Amino acid sequence: MIEPFLSAVPVLKRLEEAGFEAYFVGGSVRDFLLHKPISDVDIATSATPKEVKRVFPKTVDIGIEHGTVLVLFGQKSYEVTTFRTDGAYEDFRRPKEVSFIRNLTEDLKRRDFTMNAMAMDKTGQLIDPYNGQLAIKEKRIQTVGNPKDRFHEDALRIMRAVRFVSQLSFHIEEHTMRALKELAPLLKNIAVERKKAEFDKLLIGKGWKEAITILLETNLYCYLPGLQNQKKQIEKLLSYNSEKLTKNEMWSLLLFCLQQDPQSTETFLRDWRFSVHDIKEILRILAYVERRLVQEWSLYDLYKAGRATIQSVEKLFLVINGLDEVSRIAQLLDQYDRLPIKDRKDVDVTGSDLMEWFGLNGGPWLKEMLVKIEQAILAGKVRNDKQEIKEWLKPCSQN
């Protein structure tokens, strides 16, 4: 066995010593078999949350109603979830209630896809009642049981299937695909936050083009915020070859294809429940991309944009123009690093200095003059030194 499972084996052992069953389950087992980096290991157990809390001194209640307790153990934390079946589903969303059970196979049965419905014990032995290993070998995404029933129970699974196409470069099994097409409208009932979590992962996956193509072919895109009626624009996205773009860069590229004004872009991002931080970042990237498409970077633009935005914008500029000149990004960042100032705070002169020197009150002139000073410093016309700036300003004030 390998890390991060190894460190978690004692957690399974403790539960077993207390008389319960415990296994690794879900995405970590799948990724282990795929030789992919393993993020978090999830643990499933026959112990109820109360019993789990009795076994471990340090726990946090993070989802008791779903049977999940966070166990703090040896500097790490593990989500330990009681075997459960999901009760009646309401409106194609998550179940209102879950029932705790003592049987692993039943727990695996409620999981979405066969590749995600395997368990591994502390010795590395696999428990695979739904042939998940074969599905992984054949790169197949297939629901556990009847796909229509499973998508009716929780329509997010439709989105998850497409997300896994992108993330794993797997294909969707025929019946699962047919059900997905037929039941695409059920996605209407799913909370935007849950759709976004899947779409984020879809956008940064290796197979994003295949996944986007499926969204278009199945009309799933019609049930995603701001994307209905945008088929042509989404197809435009498929014409770009982008690798190694970050999540927000991919969203920016998608928004670039939608060609909306900044106000509509902001509404789009709000509808998708983006954080204020991400909205700002994406709007900024898009504004500089538009600028970059009509002109080269000026020193002042580099200064105003800042390192992270320069990098994102230039990456997108190369993608949009189908260029493969990544060295340009390093050159620009180097140029940025050598700028004598990076922020207005770095300027050796303040607004109060200027008001004092010119004997004037604040007003628009102040901002204009500060910009002039910034530009002069950046262009090397004056050193970033209070006295030198004062001297330099003298002839300026006469014209």
Assess contact for 171 and 141: CB atoms under 8 A: yes
Tokens of 219: 């009309």
Judged by CB under 6 A, the chain residues 10 through 69 that form the site for ligand ATP are 26-27, 39, 42
Element (H, E) at 62: strand 59-63
Judged by CB under 6 A, the chain residues 165 through 224 that form the site for ligand ATP are 201
* Residue 270 C-beta: closest distance to Mg ion, Å: 28
| Options 7, 14, 21, 27; binder of Mg ion; rule CB under 5 A | 27
Judged by CB under 6 A, the chain residues 150 through 169 that form the site for ligand ATP are 154, 156-157
Name which of 115, 113, 210 is nearest 171 in CA terms.
210
DSSP state of 95: B
Any contact of residue 4 with Mg ion (CB under 5 A)? no
- In angstroms, the CA 361 to CA 375 distance is 23
* Residue 56 C-beta: closest distance to ligand ATP, Å: 21
Any contact of residue 306 with ligand ATP (CB under 6 A)? no
Which partner from the list ligand ATP, Mg ion, none does 198 bind, CB cut-off 5 to 8 Å by kind? none
Assess contact for 42 and 111: CB atoms under 8 A: no
Any contact of residue 114 with ligand ATP (CB under 6 A)? no
Name which of 274, 167, 177, 158 is nearest 220 in CA terms.
158
Any contact of residue 340 with ligand ATP (CB under 6 A)? no
- In angstroms, the CA 238 to CA 203 distance is 12
Q: Which is nearer to ligand ATP, 39 or 335 (CB)?
A: 39
Q: Which is nearer to ligand ATP, 116 or 218 (CB)?
A: 116
Q: Which is nearer to Mg ion, 130 or 164 (CB)?
A: 164
* Residue 205 C-beta: closest distance to ligand ATP, Å: 10
Q: Which is nearer to ligand ATP, 183 or 389 (CB)?
A: 183
Assess contact for 364 and 394: CB atoms under 8 A: no
- In angstroms, the CA 161 to CA 202 distance is 10
Which residues face 143 on adjacent strands?
Answer: 113
* Residue 304 C-beta: closest distance to ligand ATP, Å: 37
Residue 183: CA atoms inside 13 Å, Cβ hemisphere, count? Answer: 25
Assess contact for 147 and 154: CB atoms under 8 A: no
Q: Which residue is at the shortest CB distance from ligand ATP? A: 27
* Residue 154 C-beta: closest distance to ligand ATP, Å: 5
- In angstroms, the CA 141 to CA 176 distance is 8
Q: Which is nearer to Mg ion, 28 or 312 (CB)?
A: 28
Q: Which is nearer to ligand ATP, 116 or 252 (CB)?
A: 116
Q: Which is nearer to ligand ATP, 45 or 116 (CB)?
A: 116
Judged by CB under 6 A, the chain residues 367 through 396 that form the site for ligand ATP are none
Any contact of residue 331 with ligand ATP (CB under 6 A)? no
Number of other CB atoms surrounding residue 193 within 10 Å? 9
Which partner from the list Mg ion, ligand ATP, none does 309 bind, CB cut-off 5 to 8 Å by kind? none
The total number of residues written for the chain in this structure:
399
Any contact of residue 312 with ligand ATP (CB under 6 A)? no
Stretch that binds ligand ATP, among 110-118, 221-229, 343-351, 378-386 (CB under 6 A): 110-118
- In angstroms, the CA 316 to CA 253 distance is 7
Is the preceding peptide bond at 364 cis, omega within 30 degrees of 0?
A: no
Contact residues for ligand ATP, defined by CB under 6 A:
26-27, 39, 42, 111-112, 116-117, 154, 156-157, 201
